[in-house]
Amino acid sequence: MEKQKKFSIQHFFMNYALYIIMLIMIVIIGMMSPKFFSFRVIRDILMQSSTRIIVAMGCMYILVSGAADLSGGRTVGLAAVVAGSLAQKSDYYIKFWPNLPEMPLIVPVIAAVLIGLIVGLMNGFTTAKLKVPSFLATLAVMMIAYGANQLYCNKPPNNSQPLGGFLKSFSNLGTGSFLSVPYIIYIAIGVCSFQHLLLTRTCLGREIFACGSNQEAARVSGINVYKIQMITFALAGACYGLAGCLEAARTGSATSGYGNSYEMDAIASCIVGGCSMTGGVGTVFGTFFGVLIFNIINYGLTFIGLSSYWQWVVKGLIIIIAVSFDMRKFSKEE
Amino acid sequence: MKDSEYVLEMKNISKSFPGVKALDQVDFYVEPGSVHALMGENGAGKSTLMKCAFGMYHPDEGEIFINGLPVQLTNPREALDHGIAMIHQELQSIRTRSAMENVWVGRIPYRKAFGVHWVDDKKLYQDTKALMDDLGINVDPYAKAGDLSASQCQMLEIARAVSYNARIIIMDEPTSSLTEAETNLLFHIIRKLTAKGVAIIYISHKIDEILEIAQNVTIMRDGKIVGTWPAADLNTDLIVKRMVGREMSNRFPEKKHRPAEEVCLEIRHFTSAGSRGFRDINLSVRRSEIFGIGGLVGAQRTELVESIFGLRAISEGEILINGKSVIVKSPEHAIQNSIALLTEDRRKSGIFPRFSVLENIVIAKQSADTSVYKKGIFLDNQKRAADAARFAEAFSIKTPSLKTEIRFLSGGNQQKVVLARWMLIDPNILILDEPTRGIDVGAKYEIYSLMEKMASEGKTIIMISSEMPELLGMSDRIAVMCEGHLSGILEGEKATEENVMYLASSYKNAEKVLN
């Protein structure tokens, strides 16, 4: 009886390590600076997290399907620049497309998502059709996307300067709010809900998990693995594209350097949130909190006056702690 | 130092794995300078015994003596130090490195200068050259191992074994990938080695070869030694009889199904796209029939059925289902044509380990026909659970709940889950590749009963099995394959263990047992 109880406490700690860490951090930061528990702070953290959440969601499709994706960050950058270039005021002094009329909001958004989709399909084609291992395929596509971005930005009259002078409607998408909650938080939650339903409640979702869990068995069971890989990369690309567009709208600017290293943060968030690098495991809730935990550190450490350089050390430690707990949990069950 | 007439003595060796007694008080003695053949059916314990001799396994009890001195072998390195080398069935050369590096890997000669060990290329080459000339091996030491033929790689392995000054060389099915000319070359080298006093332990299923090269033959069965005889006292019939010689007990359900006349599945001129694959296979299987496929490991049986299921490419051939030609290029096509395949390796291509029992049961049906389990755009979880529960019940799958992850179930129950997955799509043709491998006797009987039931319901069952009693006990007819060829089809009184073994070891003189 005694033993049983002890075991379950241990089990509880292992299962909810991520949430416990998050709670402890919030409590510590809150004790040092009680103002941390304010609506404004929570809103700021969520707002900063929202584009990261969308990138992490895209990355999660790939990890769950058993592949890796390094192209996320640069796709965000490319989409941000393309969206920005289509959302400028007509009187801006270095308008990217000088003869382009002012576009309705939907145009830059669709263009960004399309760009992401194209990059995603390139990833999918290289991985699924050309059989290049996904790590390398997406590394190569990431380079191509970054190169394309720089070439695009260098077009006169822009000549690689940051894009600015966005239309009010576009900026409003990133900074405006409804009931004091920014639009982008609604959008991020919308993306999460969509993905949660897709992964848990649809046939396609089951097949994505199946491919990641045991690709050979999936093939034998009559699942079209090629199709699934194309779909996951396309979905991921669309997420990156959307995130890029929102990032430009939120910051009111866009350069080819946008999105740099977002893919690594996204992978780290997914892993800390319980995704497996070998595929077939992961939840939207886990990934969501994985992103939040990193952003709380980011914000919280600055909030209590610590050098923001510390965040890197803390982030690294959290990855190690979360994953080692997960490994122990897994080996126990085996 | 004590003298012994044997170079290797293994006394009273026992070794158990969970659920199986792989070796049961085995005694095995090898004379120096001789070729000692070790024979037995798949799973008789030959490889396990040799892995004990090579230090890869530790016997639960028993002693090993080399040249009369007791030794404790805890890893292959120690075995090598004691003069025992092993050439594995799957060759393990480093394909991107040169032949000479492969021979001396781990012991590359070096020169020391400025406190650094520099590779001594000249000595490496000379040592390799001398070694190969001595053995009569004709391989360029500079050639990349990946560019060498299977036989040349084999020669490299032998050179490596000799380079350790091995007094005992274990060869596990050395000729399984060699042509006849290459085999003769191997025999030439083996004779050279034995003339120098090296003992060779030679594991093979090929009886003709053994009668040619071996001086002594030890036959194993079910983890025990049947006996050791001088090869001169043996012939093919005697060897087969001694390898088989076990009683059939009542381990199978009563046969109730009766094969129909009509042919359900026919394959014509099936030839693998791979260069070493099966060749020109013609088969027709009837409705309500349990059709067995027998043969030794490497006979290309799995490759054949995986090609029928669309997992592997063929270069030639045709599949007819109920007389109509169909094209099967992927498992999806096969499933559309009502073919199901239970694969050989449950872990590798059967179960989704982190999926629940429920998900594992419904996955094939759900992908085959996305409309069955749909309620609006979402999955109909109630219907899925109902189907899974019905099949778990029908297959008496023992699991705490349908939500339990499948990896927590026993092997037999996992197998029943995968079988249930296929029965859920209600196939007309069910191919089972080693359906009872690695599961206990009780679960085996349940799987046999299920097969019997399916055949009675008019399904066509094709079963690959390496277990002789199962093959004979369950099949209406047995096709036997050997080295990618169909040796023959045995039926009725002809379906005996001796005939199956005979056809499995040779396809050339099949008429003898077929007529």
- The domains spanning B8-93+148-244 and B251-338+428-515 adopt the same CATH topology: yes
Read off the pLDDT of residues A240-257 as tens digits, 9 standing for 90 and up.
999 999 999 999 999 999
Mean per-residue pLDDT for B89-111?
A: 80
Read off the pLDDT of residues B174-215 as tens digits, 9 standing for 90 and up.
877 677 777 888 898 899 889 989 999 998 877 888 889 999
What is residue B374's DSSP assignment? E
pLDDT given for residue A35 in this prediction: 84
Indicate the range of A201-215, A217-231, B170-184, B390-404 predicted with least confidence: B170-184
Q: Is the pLDDT of residue B71 over 60?
A: yes
Mean per-residue pLDDT for B20-30?
A: 86
Mean per-residue pLDDT for A71-98?
A: 90
The C-alpha atoms of residue A312 and residue A142 are separated, in whole angstroms, by 24
Closest residue by Cα to residue A128 from A62, A201, A58, A41: A62
pLDDT given for residue B198 in this prediction: 92
Q: How confident is the model at residue A258 (pLDDT cuts 50, 70, 90)?
A: very high
Helix, strand, coil fractions of chain B, as percent rounded to 5: 35, 25, 35
Q: Which of B347, B348, B366 to mutate to test the interface with A (most CBs of A within 10 A)?
A: B366
3-class DSSP state of B84: strand
pLDDT given for residue B456 in this prediction: 92
Q: Is the pLDDT of residue A52 over 90?
A: yes
Question: CA of A294 to nearest chain B CA: how many angstroms apart?
Answer: 28
The C-alpha atoms of residue A284 and residue A199 are separated, in whole angstroms, by 9
> Which tokens sit at B29?
């003695």
Q: How confident is the model at residue A274 (pLDDT cuts 50, 70, 90)?
A: confident
Q: Note whether A115 contacts B: Cβ–Cβ < 8 A.
A: no
Q: Is the pLDDT of residue A136 over 50?
A: yes
Closest residue by Cα to residue A51 from A216, A229, A192, A224: A192
> Is there a contact between A128 and A215 (Cβ–Cβ < 8 Å)?
no
Across the interface, of A201, A209, A220, the residue whose CB is closest to B343 is A220
pLDDT given for residue B284 in this prediction: 92
Interface touch A223/B367, C-beta < 8 Å: yes
pLDDT given for residue B56 in this prediction: 87
Question: What does the domain layout of chain A look like in residue ranges?
Answer: 32-333
Mean per-residue pLDDT for A32-44?
A: 86
pLDDT given for residue A211 in this prediction: 92
pLDDT: which is higher, A23 or A77: A77
Read off the pLDDT of residues B105-138 as tens digits, 9 standing for 90 and up.
878 888 888 888 888 888 889 999 998 888 888 8
Q: Which CATH architecture has domain B251-338+428-515?
A: 3-Layer(aba) Sandwich (3.40)
Question: CA of B341 to nearest chain A CA: how many angstroms apart?
Answer: 8
**Mean pLDDT across chain A:** 88
Instruction: Identify all chain A residues contacting B407, using CB atoms and an 8 Å cutoff.
Output: 334
Taking a contact as any Cβ pair under 8 Å apart, which residues of chain B between 357 and 396 contact chain A? 359, 363-364, 366-368, 370, 373-374, 377-379
pLDDT given for residue B91 in this prediction: 65
Question: CA of A272 to nearest chain B CA: how many angstroms apart?
Answer: 18
pLDDT given for residue A150 in this prediction: 93
Instruction: Identify all chain B residues contacting A217, using CB atoms and an 8 Å cutoff.
Output: 343, 348-352
Q: Note whether A217 contacts B: Cβ–Cβ < 8 A.
A: yes
pLDDT: which is higher, A95 or B335: B335
Residue whose structure tokens are 């390799």: B128
Instruction: Identify all chain A residues contacting B374, using CB atoms and an 8 Å cutoff.
Output: 203
pLDDT given for residue B18 in this prediction: 65
Question: CA of B295 to nearest chain A CA: how many angstroms apart?
Answer: 23
Q: Note whether B430 contacts A: Cβ–Cβ < 8 A.
A: no
Residue whose structure tokens are 């391989």: B139
Question: What does the domain layout of chain B look like in residue ranges?
Answer: 8-93+148-244, 251-338+428-515, 352-426
Mean per-residue pLDDT for B323-340?
A: 92
The C-alpha atoms of residue B219 and residue B240 are separated, in whole angstroms, by 10
Q: Is the pLDDT of residue B245 over 80?
A: no
pLDDT: which is higher, B315 or A303: B315
Question: CA of B301 to nearest chain A CA: how many angstroms apart?
Answer: 17
pLDDT: which is higher, B175 or A64: A64
Across the interface, of B352, B368, B373, the residue whose CB is closest to A217 is B352
Residue B217 CB burial class (10 angstroms; 0-12, 13-18, ≥19): buried
Taking a contact as any Cβ pair under 8 Å apart, which residues of chain A between 117 and 136 contact chain B? none
> Is there a contact between A260 and A143 (Cβ–Cβ < 8 Å)?
no
Mean per-residue pLDDT for B49-58?
A: 89
Q: Is the pLDDT of residue B99 over 70?
A: yes
Q: Is the pLDDT of residue B249 over 60?
A: no
Mean per-residue pLDDT for B444-472?
A: 89
Mean per-residue pLDDT for B361-369?
A: 89
Q: How confident is the model at residue B377 (pLDDT cuts 50, 70, 90)?
A: confident
pLDDT: which is higher, A116 or A278: A116
Q: Which residues sit opposite A82 in a β-bridge?
A: none
**Which ranges constitute the DSSP H helices of B323-467?**
331-336, 346-349, 357-368, 381-394, 411-424, 441-456
pLDDT given for residue B324 in this prediction: 92
Instruction: Identify all chain B residues contacting A201, using CB atoms and an 8 Å cutoff.
Output: 378-379
pLDDT given for residue A38 in this prediction: 86
Q: Which of A221, A227, A331, A333 to mutate to test the interface with B (most CBs of B within 10 A)?
A: A221
Q: Note whether A320 contacts B: Cβ–Cβ < 8 A.
A: no
pLDDT given for residue A7 in this prediction: 59
Mean per-residue pLDDT for A147-166?
A: 88
Model pTM? Answer: 0.76
Q: Note whether B426 contacts A: Cβ–Cβ < 8 A.
A: no
Q: Note whether A210 contacts B: Cβ–Cβ < 8 A.
A: yes
Q: Note whether A107 contacts B: Cβ–Cβ < 8 A.
A: no
What is residue B425's DSSP assignment? T
> Which tokens sit at A50?
């929202």
Q: Note whether A283 contacts B: Cβ–Cβ < 8 A.
A: no
Share of chain B above pLDDT 90, in %: 33
pLDDT given for residue A159 in this prediction: 82
pLDDT given for residue A309 in this prediction: 82
Mean per-residue pLDDT for A230-246?
A: 96
Q: Is the pLDDT of residue B236 over 90?
A: no
Instruction: Identify all chain B residues contacting A197, using CB atoms and an 8 Å cutoff.
Output: 378
pLDDT given for residue A334 in this prediction: 41
Interface touch B363/A281, C-beta < 8 Å: no
Interface touch B354/A221, C-beta < 8 Å: no
Q: Is the pLDDT of residue A227 over 70?
A: yes
Read off the pLDDT of residues B308-321 as tens digits, 9 standing for 90 and up.
999 999 999 999 99
Q: Is the pLDDT of residue B159 over 90?
A: no
Instruction: Identify all chain B residues contacting A203, using CB atoms and an 8 Å cutoff.
Output: 366-367, 370, 373-374, 379
Q: Which CATH architecture has domain B8-93+148-244?
A: 3-Layer(aba) Sandwich (3.40)
> Is there a contact between B8 and B30 (Cβ–Cβ < 8 Å)?
yes
Q: Which of B308, B344, B349 to mutate to test the interface with A (most CBs of A within 10 A)?
A: B349
pLDDT given for residue B42 in this prediction: 65
Instruction: Please tell me the class of the A32-333 domain.
Output: mainly alpha
ipTM: 0.78
CA angle, A171 then A175 then A179, to 5°: 130
Q: Which of A220, A225, A227, A333 to mutate to test the interface with B (most CBs of B within 10 A)?
A: A220
Q: Is the pLDDT of residue A2 over 60?
A: no
Interface touch B352/A213, C-beta < 8 Å: yes
Read off the pLDDT of residues B422-435 as tens digits, 9 standing for 90 and up.
999 999 999 999 88
Interface touch A213/B341, C-beta < 8 Å: no
> Is there a contact between A37 and A176 (Cβ–Cβ < 8 Å)?
no
pLDDT given for residue B246 in this prediction: 52
Q: Is the pLDDT of residue B242 over 70?
A: yes
Interface touch B355/A213, C-beta < 8 Å: yes
Q: How confident is the model at residue B31 (pLDDT cuts 50, 70, 90)?
A: very high
Mean per-residue pLDDT for B238-260?
A: 75
pLDDT given for residue B170 in this prediction: 92
If you write DSSP's letter for every residue of B236-256 in order, what string do you get? HHHHHHHHH-----S-S----
